[in-house]
Structure formats: structure tokens, C-alpha cells
Amino acid sequence: MTADRIDELRAEATAAAEAAPDTAALEELRVRYLGRKAELPNLLRGVAELPPEQRGVVGKAANQARQALEALIEHRAAQLAAGELDARLAGDRVDVTLPGAPPQPVGSLHLMTAVRREIEDVFCGLGFAVVEGPEVELVHYNFDALNHAPAHPARSRSDTFYVATAQRPADPGDQVVLRTHTSPMQIRSMEAQPPPIQLIVPGRVYRPDSDATHTPQFHQVEGLAVDEDITLADLKGTLLAFARAIFGDERDVRLRPHYFPFTEPSVEVDVSCFMCAGTGVLPRTGVRCNLCKGTGWLEILGSGMVDPNVLAGIEAHDYDPERWQGYAFGMGIERIAMLKHGVPDLRLFYDNDLRFLEQFG
């Protein structure tokens, strides 16, 4: 009789709890079935008065029923509370299309710096160190040690900025100039360390020139690699890797003979045009490619095998040109940036107009 009543109560309360529509109703049920005056707790309290043979059975059943009901109500209460919270939160709506706040403005590197870093990282990956040197330089390092003949036109005052000194030095090599290229660091680096050597030199350089493709200051990256067996083919391969890293995996390079006082043989390096895939004609329209002027090639730098006179002139360490050989190259950072990003006028780099700066870096 009592055991049946317990089952009845349990089934009734379970059904009611599962049907409870909200937490308030559920609380009512809890009081009704488990509260101090409810029937099931009363049954439990009355177990002691039962005949001994019934106590165990009834007590256990009543206890199990109470625990199950408690668990069920707790579970349902959490369920209902979460549902009610969601209903409230849904009403607490924001316009997600408004801008984020507070604003977190992010600035930018200048295009020149961004490309300089890109170039540095490519050559670091190829095993080159990065060194820097003075922008105000001795004629000795800028010209003499780089095998420029005394009458080489680059020395003229129309091609080089000279720096005023207290008195004119007795040795013309001690005249001071704004370096016209990063190449003086070839000499300074070799003076500072024995071969093998492989490094690049990014930095600012100066030439008296001003138009859409020339500014009196600009930036170069020099490269130098000297070992016992470095070849022109290594130069080609290194610059091919560089060109592909900067301009895309499909690029090719070609070497064109040229003349520089401090390399022999000297070559200019062209990269196949990325605009027209080296065809000279734009693929969709069939129009002549403006970037490479229809040639399919873009000149990117000058280079060559380090001239034996340059190596022989290094006194600090043994750079005997019969034993050591290598290559050197020099490229304009702005030129690489202009080609890669389609910047038409070098002077834009130095206007520092925000509308230019915001596009890069």
C-alpha cells in the first residue's frame, strides 16, 4: 500500500516537473512534493512507525523517490533559468554594424621601410648578414677603393655632393662626400672581417639629381659575397631567388653586360615583367605593356664579380684575388618599390602625404 503510494507520487511529480512552464511553477512543485508539509517527506518521517519488516523497503523507496525528484527539479530549474536568461538577453540587442569602440588605430611603416625590410628578410633567408655604414663618407671608400679612375665622371661635383671640411685635405682620398652608393661598405666590411663574407648593406645614398625617377636622396641595398669559389652563376641564382621572392615565383632573370668600375665582369640584371609575364603585351587586352615598355624585362640592379683591384686593395685581411672571388650587387629600394607597387613618381616617397602613406606598410 505505502510502496504503491510512493510510486504514484513519484510518477505524478515527475510528470508535473517536466511540464512546468517556468521557474516559478517549478518552485511551486518543489514545495508541493518536497516541502515540509508534503506527503513524501511525511512518509519518510513515518517510516519508524512501520512494522520492522516494511521499514527497509519503504524507507529505501521513499528516499530514492525524494532524491530523484530533487535532481529532476534542479535539472529542470537550470534548464528553465537558461531559457529565461536567453529570452532576456535577446532583448538586450546592440547594432553590431556600428564601428568598434574605442577605436584602435594601426599606423604604418613607410613604403620604403616596408620594402627595405622585405629585401633584408629575403637575403637573411639566403644566408646574408645585414650591416650598415656611414652616409657621410671619405672619397677613399666611395671611389678610390672601389677602383674608380681619378677622372671617373661620377666624382664630379655635378654627380656627387661634397661636404665642407675645415681645411682641404692633403690627400684627395680624405675629401668628404655624401656617399653616392652603399658600395663603400664593401670595403669597410672586408676591412673588418676576413673572407668568407656574405652580407647586404641597406642605406641612404645621395646624388645631385631631381626628376620623376631621381631624388637627391634615395636608398640602396648593396650585396657582397666573397669566398674561394663564388661564381657569376651564383650571382644569377641568388638574384633569381631574390626576384622570385619579391616579384613572384614565375619570374626569370637575365644578365646584360655592363660596366662598373668595381666589378669585372659587370652585368645589369633584368627581371621578367610581372605585369605581362615577360611577353611585353598585356594578356587580356593585347596592348603593349607600359611597365616594361613592351620589352618584357625590367631592369632592377647592377652587379658583377668583384674587381680584382678591389680585393687586392684590402690590406687588413688576406683578400688575395688569386684565391678569393665573389660578387657584388646594388639595387635601389625605391625602384623595387615603384615597380612592385606601381608608384609612378619617386618624389611621392618624400612628400609623406598621408594619402600615400596609408596605402602601404
Partner 1 sequence: MRLVLEWLHDYVRPDLETRELAARLAMTGTEVDRVEHHGVAALEHFVVGRVLEAGRHPDADRLWVCTVDVGDGAPSTIVCGAPNVAAGQTVAVARPGAIMPDGTRLKAAKLRGIRSEGMILAEDEVAIGTEHAGIMVLDGLPGGAEIAPGAPLAQLLPIATEVLELEVTPNRPDCLAVYGVAREVHAATGAPLGPPPWEHDPHPAGDAIAGVRIDVEVGDLCPRFTARAFEDVTIGPSPWWLKARLLAAGQRPINTVVDITNYVMLLTGQPLHAFDLDRVAGAHLVVRRAGDGERMTTLDDVERVLDEDVVLIADDEGPTSIAGVMGGARSEVHDGTTRVLIEAATWDGPNINRTSARLGLRSEASARFEKGLAPEQALEAQAVASRLMTELCGATPLAGTIDAGGAGPAPAVVRLRDARLAALLGAPIARERSAEILGALGFGVAQAADGLDVSVPPFRRTDVTREADVIEEVARIEGFEGLPATVQENRTGRPGQLTAAQRLRRRAEDVLVGRGLREVVGWSFAGEALLDRLRLPAGHRLRAVVRVENPMSEAQAILRPTILGSLLDSAAHNAARGMGDLALFESGAVYNPDGDGPLPAEHHALAAVLRGALQPASWAAGSPPQAGFFAAKALVEAVFGALRVPLAVAPPEDPAAWPFLHPGRAAAVLAGGEPIGFAGEVHPLVVAAWDLGDQPVAAFALDLGRLVARAPETAGYADLTSFPAVRQDLAVVVPDDVPAARVVEIVGAHASSVHVFDVYRGAQLGEGRTSLALHCEFSARDRTLTDEDVAKVREKIVAQLAGIGGELRA
Q: Contacts with partner 1 in 247-286 (CB under 8 A)?
A: 253-259, 264-267
Buried-state track 231-261, b at ≥16 Cβ within 10 A, e below 16: eeeebbebbbebbbbbbeeebebebeeeebb
Binder of partner 1 out of 238, 300, 302, 313 (CB under 8 A): 238
Q: How many Å apart are CA 177 and CA 142, to the nearest integer?
A: 8
Phi-psi region of 265 (alpha: psi -120 to 50; beta: other; left: phi over 0): beta
Closer CB to partner 1, 40 or 230, in the complex: 230
Q: How many Å apart are CA 342 and CA 344, to the nearest integer?
A: 6
Residue list 288-307, contact with partner 1 (CB under 8 A): 305, 307
Q: How many Å apart are CA 102 and CA 99, to the nearest integer?
A: 9
Closer CB to partner 1, 45 or 256, in the complex: 256
Tell the smallest beta-carbon distance from residue 150 to Zn ion (Å): 41
Rg (alpha carbons) of the chain, rounded to whole number: 41
Residue (of 72, 2, 76, 14) closest to 39 by Cα position: 2
Residues touching partner 1, count (CB under 8 A) = 92
Tell the smallest beta-carbon distance from residue 271 to Zn ion (Å): 11
Residue list 176-235, contact with partner 1 (CB under 8 A): 176, 178, 196-198, 204, 206, 208, 210, 216-217, 225, 227, 229-234
Number of C-alpha atoms within 13 angstroms, CB side, residue 36? 0
Is the distance from CB of 59 to CB of 40 less than 8 angstroms? no
Closer CB to Zn ion, 276 or 331, in the complex: 276
Does position 92 interact with partner 1 (CB under 8 A)? The reply is no
Closer CB to Zn ion, 9 or 253, in the complex: 253
Residue list 141-170, contact with partner 1 (CB under 8 A): 149-153, 156-158, 161-164, 169
Q: How many Å apart are CA 78 and CA 29, to the nearest integer?
A: 15
Helix (H), strand (E) at residue 69: helix 52-91
The site partner of 275 among partner 1, Zn ion, none (C-beta below 5 to 8 Å per kind) is Zn ion
Quote the cell numbers at residue 22: 517556468
Residue 357's contacts (CB-CB under 8 Å, 6 or more residues apart) are: 108, 110, 111
Does position 93 interact with partner 1 (CB under 8 A)? The reply is no
Stretch that binds partner 1, among 29-37, 43-51, 80-88, 174-182 (CB under 8 A): 174-182
Residues interacting with Zn ion, by CB under 5 A?
A: 273, 275-276, 289, 291-292
Residue list 51-90, contact with partner 1 (CB under 8 A): none
Residue list 305-344, contact with partner 1 (CB under 8 A): 305, 307-308, 325
Closer CB to partner 1, 90 or 164, in the complex: 164
Residue (of 186, 332, 153) closest to 259 by Cα position: 153
Does position 240 interact with partner 1 (CB under 8 A)? The reply is yes
Sheet bearing 263-272, strands edge to edge: 129-130, 197-206, 217-227, 325-332, 297-306, 263-272, 253-260
Closer CB to partner 1, 17 or 278, in the complex: 278
Q: Between 123 and 142, how does the x/- string for binding to partner 1 read (CB under 8 A)?
A: xxxxxxxx---xxxxx----
